[in-house]
Amino acid sequence: MKTISNPSVKKSVISVIGFISLFTLYHLPEFFQNYYQESLIWMLETGMLLFVIVAYFIGKRTFKNGFRTYGLFAFRKHWGNLITGLLIGICITILANLVPVWLHWNKISFHWEWQKILLHSVLFAIGTLLPSLAEDILTRGYLMAYWPGKWNFSLLILLSSGVYVLNHIFRLDKPDVLLYLFVLGLLLMWVFVATRSLWLTLGIHWGSNIAYQFFANEVSVETIKETGMENYVLAACYALGFMLIFLLFKRGFFTLAIKTDD
């Protein structure tokens, strides 16, 4: 049996095998949920935890630095990016859900039971952390780790956005879904490339998922006018958020990093 002697080719083969392995591991819980037509939250969380552990050991074996491989380092220095990202992600999703109300497409209502809202918000935050982290590692951190430094990072942003869209393998039947996923993918990967750490990206992604779960589970939505435009509004809100983040970045609002940070 022939062995691969060219280091660059060997690295490419290893990177592809690693990505396929992580991609398969990431989607196993979703596959079983679709097969059994049940949410199986315990399986999702267990699967995402296993994914994160495997990703850590891949980073440890390949680059000798575990999670640092994927841009997760120097938390004490960059925790502000995570918190800011959380707030931005939550605000974007809130805006996307309120615009149809302002346009009189939908009517929303929910009961103001503060203890229940607080408890459920904490549960949503805990429940969405691992899936958000796992997807950011798979579709952004992993790609960045293997991307040749001399190559154009604009291509990396486009590639990551495409991979992020394709990662939603059970939701690729509608153009409006593809659009907002692609815009969100551009936003999240650009933020990663710009800050050189995954904390702000994770915050935006995590915050969006927390707010999504809140509106999906705690808010009653009554359709007043059927338009089918809600996902296009969501894409526009992510684009607006992208512009806001770009302006904040230019003003030095975020903490920038390099992988040698402690």
Structural domain including 221 reads 77-250
Question: What's the average model confidence in pLDDT over 91-115?
Answer: 91
- 184-226 confidence digits (pLDDT tens): 999 999 999 999 999 999 999 999 999 999 999 888 889 999 9
What 3 state SS string does 35-98 have? Answer: HHCCCCHHHHHHHHHHHHHHHHHHHHHHHCCHHHHHCCCCHHHHHHHHHHHHHHHHHHHHHHHH
Q: Which residue has the higher pLDDT, 33 or 105?
A: 105
Residue 109 in 3-state DSSP?
strand
pLDDT tens for residues 124-178?
999 999 999 999 999 999 999 999 888 899 999 999 999 999 999 888 888 999 9
Structural domains of the chain, count: 1
pLDDT at 231 over 90: yes
**In the structure, what pLDDT confidence band is assigned to residue 39 with cuts at 50, 70 and 90?**
confident
153, part of any domain: yes
Give the model's pLDDT for residue 261. Answer: 53
The answer as to whether 163 is a domain residue is yes
Domain-embedded: residue 151: yes
Kindly state whether residue 22 falls inside one of the protein's structural domains.
no
Residue 30 included in any domain: no
Given a contact cutoff of 8 angstroms between Cβ atoms, the answer to whether 156 and 185 are in contact is no
